[in-house]
Amino acid sequence: MAAESEPGHGSTFTVTLPLPERQPRPADPTEPPAEDEPQQMRVLVADDDPTTLQLLRVVLGRAGHEVTTAVNAQEAVALADRAPPDLVLMDVEMPGEGCVSTAAALRAAGAGRVIAVTGHSAAELKLLYPALNVDQVITKPLRMEPLVRELRQSKERR
């Protein structure tokens, strides 16, 4: 552990934790993925927030999924037309077309499950969700458990 401090400039604390080396398990091509390891999927993330796009691109990419991103509804539909995704994670309040018409266009393009991602409260969602024309709603800040659950459900429906 180390600490540096300068009056008027703040302090920096550095903690180094030793972790055991993780040994990768050799892949057996005849063995199906474990229950907690969803198969690779094509995931389209549509959000006007660059931080959300980058976070989901990295997290889903590290999990082995093919991730494409769009910054608005029109771009999302165009990408889905070219390569229909297995799962779409779409911000509810993205610029351009509304969530309802975008979800319909994504489905027409052959997209699998369409999941709305929103910062709305649970009370607002009760009013909002039925009208969105989506399979599920996940709230921000994003947590891994609901995201992994949606990946599994999308895999099962392929």
pLDDT in tens, the chain (158 residues): 777 888 887 777 776 766 566 555 554 444 444 555 547 899 999 999 999 899 899 989 988 899 999 999 999 999 999 999 999 999 988 877 778 889 999 999 999 999 988 887 766 666 666 677 888 888 888 887 778 777 777 777 66
Residue 149: closest CA among 93, 99, 89, 108:
89
Give domain status of residue 11, yes or no. no
How many domains in the chain? Answer: 1
Q: Which DSSP letter does residue 6 get?
A: E
CB-CB neighbours of 67 under 10 Å: 20
Amino acid identity of residue 12, one-letter, is T
Give domain status of residue 20, yes or no. no
The CATH number given to whatever domain includes residue 71 is 3.40.50.2300
Give domain status of residue 19, yes or no. no
Range of the domain at 96: 40-157
Give domain status of residue 46, yes or no. yes
Give domain status of residue 35, yes or no. no
Question: Do the strands 136-139 and 113-118 form a parallel or antiparallel pair, or are they unpaired?
Answer: parallel
As given in the structure block, the two tokens for residue 5 are 């401090």
Give domain status of residue 95, yes or no. yes
